[in-house]
Structure 1
């Protein structure tokens, strides 16, 4: 029976276990805790929205723009962009990065570490843009707040960076789950859009986080589905060609949205022009069609139940799409998924009504097409078909919709990618082309921290030592000797301990039993052997960070620094290129054995 010591349950032991690729139990614990934290943050954000809405909206409903006077709801967008311009754009550019794009950027280039200022800005900006009547969703702020809160937990207890990446995914999934009561969609969104990979080690903690996030939200808001829809069925298979046409049009609209939102021409305009245009355009449309304001979930529910007029559906399909894209291009940080669901539902409902006019006896209920439009638009813009399908299932609670849903989503995704050249909204927002998170080698190296592969058997020594001191150093059987230099400007060097041992043997043989000089010193920079120039790297770093740092040809290896204050810092190990290569190079044991056998036969024949 395995015996455990008290040291097995310390925080230091927990960190050390998380550095390995197989730390599944530890990651699951983090998933549970981060899910609870993120769920609480999401409840706080929704309560903040409701508290702000209670000041001037009917029944404190953040969606109740229709009940407001036309002049007031048209004035709100100008007030919102003014507040954003005065308070957000007076800060440094780095502090103005918010939302899902910021989450992916921090995960890609900063190992999942989030600045506190951006997190604080996201709270008030998320409230202002939604309650200010702009075409904005709450899921972008939710994902940023959740991912940063979960990552902050890991940063506070100084966890290795590979586990911070999983915590970001946990926070993202729990945020989506708590915001929409869609735990499965939260998991798929986190893996497909943010992490851009599917691995068992990430899946299980993310599932637990999403579950806990949903449970926390359900304790406050109940377990009701986001939208109530009547029982409907696809009916005749004649609808399938029309669904393909619907997906094709939605894919084109998705491409239009991405191209406008990424328009360099609009982004080159002065800030006051961009913000003013967003406020004026939104206010002008809102005078006649207040449904384009805010998140628009009430409009989605109405579209699913065939309760919207055709002119309102057209306004949601065209005006809300253009206003949302213009708001993004204008530099206002908003969530886009909520508005995209509205645009998709309106487009689908319009095609459903058109199909009912063309084939009165065969056409499916327009509500079916509204559901399909939601998923198709989300999947096409994000290039995340599986996340869109799971959102469709959990938002509507209609399993029969999945078959036509798969057809609509795939057609829309292919159209957006192939005909309009769009590779996904959030991938485009970080870097065009192959995203770093999509590179298999970097993904594999990001799952492990340097303590898992570093060489720990080392001793630190001065450059000049006596033979007796050299023998004392070798008593512990170190692999490396870290040579301390006379000044900090000179690079730290490492010498294989075997080189010193060989020199001592040759030295003793050369003496032939004679006593060595009393003042004899060994210069570790002069004895034969290869010396590696070292650079420091933190104990929390991942192998991907070490790999990128070793791309500098002057460096031979890295020494791993442990401790935070200068007086407490110590060298914990050395990591070389060979150690990293041994990690990601797989060798079939049978082939390796056969190769060794062949080599022994060749040696014996010679």
Structure 2
């Protein structure tokens, strides 16, 4: 029993340390654990896909749809949407939210807390969509599964919400790292796309998580890169204008894809079964002739980089896979889009490279170079994440010489999609102010710390009516605030400055020296004591300062009392947080 109590005290201390903005050692420990957990989950997810390939594909490869008879590969998408629709159709719309968009939404509006039902649905939809031949990737499911698992670890330990945000980033980075064997790109993706900020306290645990995710994946799948990419060089600077032209084209393709994927509003009137059936029929129809558009497309991507695909297949990948992926998203089928986006970009880049080789064969670089650049440019333009795309390009190619043209290609494609098509990133939903909440500096700063680090702990509670002796005993503990317990729950909780009560007692003592002793025993009504009183609402001890700030604005209050569950059915007040304390922290500690 003593050891059990000691462990509880240690965990409680760990929580208090995490509430502070400088809890770097504790966050790094969480990053290690969450990276190992996410890496194991990603290995399990990839093994499920491999087992599916062994069970259904003649060659055992879950992407080898070209080995199936035409009728089989054309029927698979219909079966996939039937299974996904049967699983999700009877569930509420909130349970159908999956993937990276769901991760950003939960991080923005729910402090990184994930529903278990959506997590289970992601396993089913992720496996079925890839094995069923839809144009879908595994990275979106990997990010959701990793982020939710890491956050679930924090929720189980009842950690403060500011640490849940970091755990979500850790799970995201480890998911990307374990899927692609790209630990640096995983870190940058988590900070640039999901967290939308860069901080030392955020970077270090995310780096550790991404490293552990890659280590776990390499223990099972080896340390080879995701794609076998030939060694290519720019050869001549005369290729730079053509690289700019290719980036412009890919930026336009990215804009078309984003607008197509977001055109689901006019499809909302269709019943769910009709939308899913349209996706199955369209995918099956294209797959009848070009099975390369099915699945993630990594086999097609590898063949594109090595120059093994015919011209008509490359065109089918650019047009068919782009339209099918956008249509699938617009119709509400939950899929990952990062893998298909990479394939479309690589195919478009290869086509532009082939055209350049035909126009000036004496100076044109290999089409494989343009395919690599197209892959990074498409990812950067769709996600509006140029740095993550560059890091992915570097880690996938293992070729530092490609960074110079890669930087040019990425910047041009991002600017094209952003300025020409007004695209602000595939996963970002703009607010009416024009800025996502995660991009607001105030909310970013206040989300890094929880209320225990700022709240005033010198608080006592008492009834409204007390005697002079009780008042003196209250002040003996030297509190800053005195909470008034009301007679009914419908009355607001109030706080009185302890200094005001002390001043009142001194003044009464000076004026009551001539009064009879029996009058000195009259109770004191704390509501009648002159001084500052604050009306308050409750907030949980795990909440961040951003949650407290939003609640203060929503209720029009100046203070909150912090509740902490001391027992399963009992709560105690552990402190008070005021608007002034939040503003002081932001002004002097940010």
| TM-score over 0.5 (shorter chain) | yes
1:162 aligns with 2:162: yes
CA distance in 2, matches of 1:228, 1:430: 42
| Cα separation, partners in 2 of 1:387 and 1:430, compared to 1, 3 Å | farther
SS of match in other structure, 2:488: coil
Q: Deviations over 1:21-52 (max 9, x none)?
A: 00000000000000000000000000111112
| Deviation at residue 60 of structure 1 after TM alignment | 2.4
User: How far apart are the structure 2 equivalents of 1:481 and 1:195?
Assistant: 39
Determine the structure 1 residue equivalent to 2:299: 298
Q: Deviations over 1:76-112 (max 9, x none)?
A: 0001111111111210111111000000000000000
**Secondary structure at the residue paired with 1:495?**
strand
In 2, the alpha carbon distance for the partners of 1:558 and 1:323 equals 51
Residue matched to 2:351: 350
Distance 1:567 1:57, change over 3 A: closer
Give the deviation of 1:58 after TM superposition. 2.7
1:141 corresponds to: 141
Correspondence list, 1:372-411, <5 A? 372-411=373-412
TM-score, structure 1 as length reference: 0.94
Check conservation: 2:566, 2:572, Cα contact below 8 A. no
Q: Deviations over 1:109-141 (max 9, x none)?
A: 000000000001100110000000000000000
Aligned to 2:234: 234
Q: Which residue of 2 aligns with 1:521?
A: 523
Distance 2:8 2:273 in 1: 58
CA distance in 1, matches of 2:555, 2:146: 39
Partner of 2:3: none
CA distance in 2: counterparts of 1:372 and 1:523, whole angstroms: 75
Quickly say closer, same or farther: Cα 1:483–1:551, change in 2 above 3 A.
Answer: same
* Number of the residue aligned with 1:30: 30
Partner SS for 2:62: coil
User: Aligned match of 1:533 in 535, 540, 558?
Assistant: 535
1:599 corresponds to:
none
Number of aligned residue pairs: 583
Q: In 2, Cα distance between the equivalents of 1:93 and 1:152? A: 22
Query: Residue 552 of structure 2 corresponds to which residue in structure 1?
Result: 550
* Aligned counterpart for 1:563 among listed residues 551, 562, 565: 565
Over aligned residue pairs, what C-alpha RMSD do you find?
A: 1.6
Cα distance, 1:336–1:270 mapped onto 2, change above 3 Å? same
- Aligned counterpart, 2:175: 175
The answer to whether the 8 A contact 1:562-1:571 is kept is yes
Give deviations 1:133-183, integer Å, cap 9, x for gaps.
000000000000000000000000100000000000000000000011000
The 3-state SS of whatever aligns with 1:482 is strand
CA distance in 1: counterparts of 2:433 and 2:140, whole angstroms: 21
Match of 1:483, SS? strand
Give me the whole-angstrom Cα distance separating, in 2, the residues matched to 1:404 and 1:82: 44
Residue equivalent to 2:320: 319
Change beyond 3 A, Cα 1:261–1:431: farther
Q: CA deviation at 1:419?
A: 0.4
Aligned in 2, Cα 1:552/1:324: closer, same or farther, shift over 3 Å? Answer: closer
Structure 1 gaps of 5+ residues are: 1-5, 589-606
Alignment-derived partner of residue 414 in structure 2? 413
- Runs ≥4 residues deviating over 6 A: 6-9, 429-432
Residue 225 of structure 2 is aligned to residue 200 of structure 1? no
Show structure 2 runs of 5+ residues with no match: 1-5
Q: Which digits, 9 at most, give the CA deviation of each residue in 1:331-361, with x for residues without a partner? A: 0000000000000000000000000000000
Is the counterpart of residue 77 in structure 1 residue 77 in structure 2?
yes
Moved more, 183-192 or 50-59: 50-59
Deviation at 1:268, TM superposition (A): 3.5
The normalised TM-score by structure 2 is 0.97
Any residues of structure 2 matched to 1:453-464 within 5 Å, and which? 453-464=454-465
Please give the residue correspondences for 1:50-69 in structure 2 after superposition, counting only pairs within 5 Å.
50-69=50-69
2:169 and 2:194 in contact (8 A); partners too: yes
Distance 1:315 1:54 in 2: 27
User: Bigger shift: 306-315 or 562-571?
Assistant: 562-571
1:267 CA displacement: 3.6
Q: Tell whether the 8 Å contact from 2:84 to 2:125 is kept in structure 1 after alignment.
A: yes
Matched, 1:96 2:96: yes
What pairs with 1:580-595 in structure 2 (closer than 5 Å)? 580-586=582-588
Per-residue deviation, 1:432: 8.5
- For the residue of structure 2 that corresponds to 1:369, the secondary structure is helix
CA distance in structure 1 between the aligned counterparts of 2:160 and 2:257, rounded to whole angstroms = 39
Is the 8 Å Cα contact of residues 101 and 430 (structure 1) preserved in structure 2? no
Q: Deviations over 1:297-340 (max 9, x none)?
A: 01111111111000000000011000000000010000000000
1:604 maps to what in 2?
none
Query: Structure 1 residues 546 and 587 mapped into 2: Cα distance closer, same or farther (>3 Å)?
Result: closer
